[in-house]
Structure 1
């Protein structure tokens, strides 16, 4: 079955959300940690859900990550995720750990579930203590506000945002063993975004029946092809986490690698994560354009991904695209320092449909047409290395004056 046919078997759900998969409830509220905006959210499952997660590779990891790792390691199950924004609870020492445990304990008491069924996540300013009285009071109120509808999902999404300008949601469905299986997700991320795991927060739900071991295998594979392929500014944060929960309420035969629809499940999870990843890349702080790089002809898929990430992560490429300058020399430079195997004499480069390099030699092109194309919102760069059959993609955004303005005053 070719890729195009496969994609027809995973379809987007119009008006779907993180609560569309069976069994999931959400809420988002304002506690006062932020001045006006929602700042505390909860994702709750009616049953203990199989869970998997990936975390930032930054060696400085915030307290909530340590607590969430501990929760999932206990049994591989979660029933609630409590998330605050406005404060990362990172680099806060013993008190930060105590506060993260308090968030977990309070959530468990409110929802009447074991403590290790709760994951904790935080995002915001690094190096400041949490306003725990406000957060604890918020947790005590939030259970009565949880719903399964689109509005509550949007409020949860809003509650996890920092400098984001839009909510980032995704929902897809597929059929597994004759049962409809749904995937839903939300994410936050706008700055400190670099492909080194998944530098942001993302929460994905599904009603598929799958054990934690196999869910982790699927998630780890998907991360490398989606969230690990985005970059905004090359900074890997201290709090970044992707958590996936599977309620099992679709009642499909339990999924393993030997299930005939295993690849279909992985594809559904991948399309959900890819959709969220692209939303993050487009919403880069100050960004005006989404950049997609497609590389083919590499030695293997991993090498292709490496080249694509190198291009989309180049500040010079990003700046040129902001300035509508078809400077393909910056693209070839990024290919050269990607550490992938290449032959400079076989490389083709195209910006949209405008070819600029053929077999390592420049091709005359219309600067006017190139400028017109680079003035659009979605830019695609195509590279053909012509030394193998590997294929890979990566996503990023342009680098603008506003990025500096936003980050120069982040704490104020």
Structure 2
């Protein structure tokens, strides 16, 4: 749940909003031939250079597009265009892959008439294959940056995803309507500290560069870094935020009276996208939400929550609709957090299964019915050792996950 310090000023969710709902943004997607039929090339364009911030995968094999994107953002802190391909990740591709990412950036920049350091590049898909630059060149030349087809962009960035993921909210700041929107891809190789996911957030807010960096990092720590599907962290993961200032509000920073309000809006968008990724985990049938309270620090609470939601045994129990609380307790115990095992309560949904570290009498049939009848499963744990808490999200582990990943290249 997003904490908002100004209860009288809640962000308004825009159900049909997209990355082009904020003023001055356009987006689109097309098929350039990397994939057999599906859209595989997407772009975002801002009418004016936007203040930019990004967070990248912690995997030490960072793909070439991330290196090029860092170059662009570090040059001026401003970005006006985003070019993304799916199907091939351009990871572990050496010097040729790096030059191809640079060339992809330059071709898109030249095509839409902006400096190449105002463009970021992103790729997702198979690792170890070179990009088909002839197909990308042909695709880029078909781009019309004056159109608005946000849904085509959302489709173009997908790999094993079963659906597009989008979120949008609006805030009232300085008497101006500020919009924050985002879309993402991610379904497998999802683990805390970024994953095989791409996230793109746009806003027409006027925000200082330092403040935008701080906002994104805080939001990601509480959202994207709190999801897991299968424990794997990929090579291409990135979340990017662009703020073009066209809403006309006074510059937002930590001293602005609506700073916390804006931060909560960014977190709301990121949390929605993170939960959509977890819900769309490869082969998943259920979203699992784990909330841990009573910890000494937020970091401890996050460790325990991620330990539970990342446990293969917990995930398979949820898939099997089996109220096996022993697996939850075991995951708490090996989380690495010091705790008093005789002072722990555990609930599956509203039903308590452990009190003071010991089992309580409960109806297994009722809990099985809860697990069977609900697509969103909640687990609660209280360690009674402090006032800090955290929430993590994941999904069940199914037969289809193995099938999808066993045949990914074929």
Normalized against structure 1, the TM-score is what?
0.97
Task: Name 1:147's counterpart in structure 2.
Answer: 147
Aligned 8 A contact 1:288 1:398 in 2: yes
Task: Name 1:103's counterpart in structure 2.
Answer: 104
What is the aligned counterpart of 1:361 among 353, 358, 362? 358
**Cα distance in structure 2, aligned partners of 1:334 and 1:393:** 15
Shift, 1:228, TM fit: 0.1
Further displaced range: 135-144 or 88-97: 135-144
CA, structure 1 residues 8+310, in 2 after alignment: closer, same or farther (shift >3 Å)? farther
Task: Name 2:43's counterpart in structure 1.
Answer: 42
Aligned 8 A contact 2:28 2:43 in 1: yes
**Cα distance in structure 2, aligned partners of 1:84 and 1:57:** 21
Shift, 1:300, TM fit: 1.7
Task: Name 1:386's counterpart in structure 2.
Answer: 384
Q: Could you say what the CA RMSD is over the residues aligned between the two structures, in angstroms?
A: 1.2
**Cα distance in structure 1, aligned partners of 2:5 and 2:277:** 25
Shift, 1:9, TM fit: 0.9
**Cα distance in structure 2, aligned partners of 1:198 and 1:401:** 21
Task: Name 2:131's counterpart in structure 1.
Answer: 130
Shift, 1:385, TM fit: 0.8
CA, structure 1 residues 8+311, in 2 after alignment: closer, same or farther (shift >3 Å)? farther
Further displaced range: 88-97 or 196-205: 196-205
SS of 2:71 mapped into structure 1: helix
**Cα distance in structure 2, aligned partners of 1:347 and 1:8:** 36
Per-residue deviation, residues 115-148 of structure 1 (Å, max 9, x unmatched): 110000000000011111011111111125x433
- The question of 1:374 aligning with 2:371 is answered yes
- The question of 1:402 aligning with 2:403 is answered no
Task: Name 1:30's counterpart in structure 2.
Answer: 31
SS of 1:329 mapped into structure 2: helix
CA, structure 1 residues 68+7, in 2 after alignment: closer, same or farther (shift >3 Å)? farther
**Cα distance in structure 1, aligned partners of 2:185 and 2:382:** 32
**Cα distance in structure 1, aligned partners of 2:8 and 2:277:** 22
**Cα distance in structure 1, aligned partners of 2:401 and 2:81:** 34
Per-residue deviation, residues 151-180 of structure 1 (Å, max 9, x unmatched): x11110000000000000000111222221
- The question of 1:352 aligning with 2:349 is answered yes
What is the aligned counterpart of 2:266 among 256, 269, 280? 269
| Contiguous gaps of at least 5 residues in structure 1 | none
Normalized against structure 2, the TM-score is what?
0.97
Shift, 1:61, TM fit: 0.6
| Contiguous gaps of at least 5 residues in structure 2 | none
Moved beyond 6 Å, runs of 4+? none
Give the paired residue count.
407
